[in-house]
Structure formats: structure tokens, C-alpha cells
Amino acid sequence: MNMYVGKLSFDVTEDDLRKAFSEFGLVESVNLVMDNYSKRSKGFGFVDMPDNSEADTAIKTLNKEGLNGKMIKVNAADSGGNRRLQRKKMKRKRF
């Protein structure tokens, strides 16, 4: 399951995320989104875990405990497919 991790401290690294989520099971990938100009974290990223039950446990636990002393937001990531379908269905009227 691919998970969105938000409200991260700007000093959190991909290794920090991997270590935190590894406590719940195998972590396939970690992607911390960085600002292209400042090379600093944007405060969110994505973690992919192959086992959905382990990912659910990580979501429930980390939403309560936080990371590096800061409360974070963890949920299943939206693949984007749903948003694209919604945009297609919406037709804007032009005046």
C-alpha cells in the first residue's frame, strides 16, 4: 500500500521515514518530496509497504505517536485516478 505522510518536520530524512515504518514491516520504497530550489524537504512524502495489514497498523500507530516529537498525518495515498475521473465528469460552463 502506498501511503501519504504529511506534516513532517523539515529535518526528517528518507532514512528516518524508512526506520519508523520498518518497525511495522517491510518497506519497499520511501520518497521524501524535496523543493527543487532550496533542496529542502517540503514536509511530505510517500512510503510504500507491500503488506496492507502492516501498512494499516503503521497508519494507526504513527498518526497517534508522531515522528521525531512532531505529530504527523499518515493515510493511504490516492493514486490520482479518482481525481482524473472526477475532472472528466465535471464540465465547466463558460460565459
For the record, the C-alpha cell of 90 comes out as 465535471
Hey, where are the domains in the chain?
2-89
Q: Which residue has the higher pLDDT, 12 or 79?
A: 12
Region 2-18: mean pLDDT is: 95
- DSSP of 53-85: HHHHHHHHHHHHH-BTTB--EEEEPP-SHHHHH
pLDDT digits (tens, 9 = 90+) for 30-77: 999 999 999 999 999 999 999 999 999 999 999 988 898 899 999 999
DSSP-derived letter for residue 88 is H
Single pTM value for the model:
0.81
Measured CA to CA, the distance from residue 17 to residue 22 in angstroms comes to 8
- CB neighbour list of residue 81: distance below 8 Å, 6 or more residues apart: none
- Name the pLDDT band for 78 (thresholds 50, 70, 90): confident
Q: What does DSSP assign to residue 7?
A: S
Is the pLDDT at 7 greater than 60? The verdict is: yes
Tell me the CATH number for domain 2-89.
Answer: 3.30.70.330
Residue 84 has pLDDT above 90, yes or no: no
- Over residues 19-24, the mean pLDDT reads 98
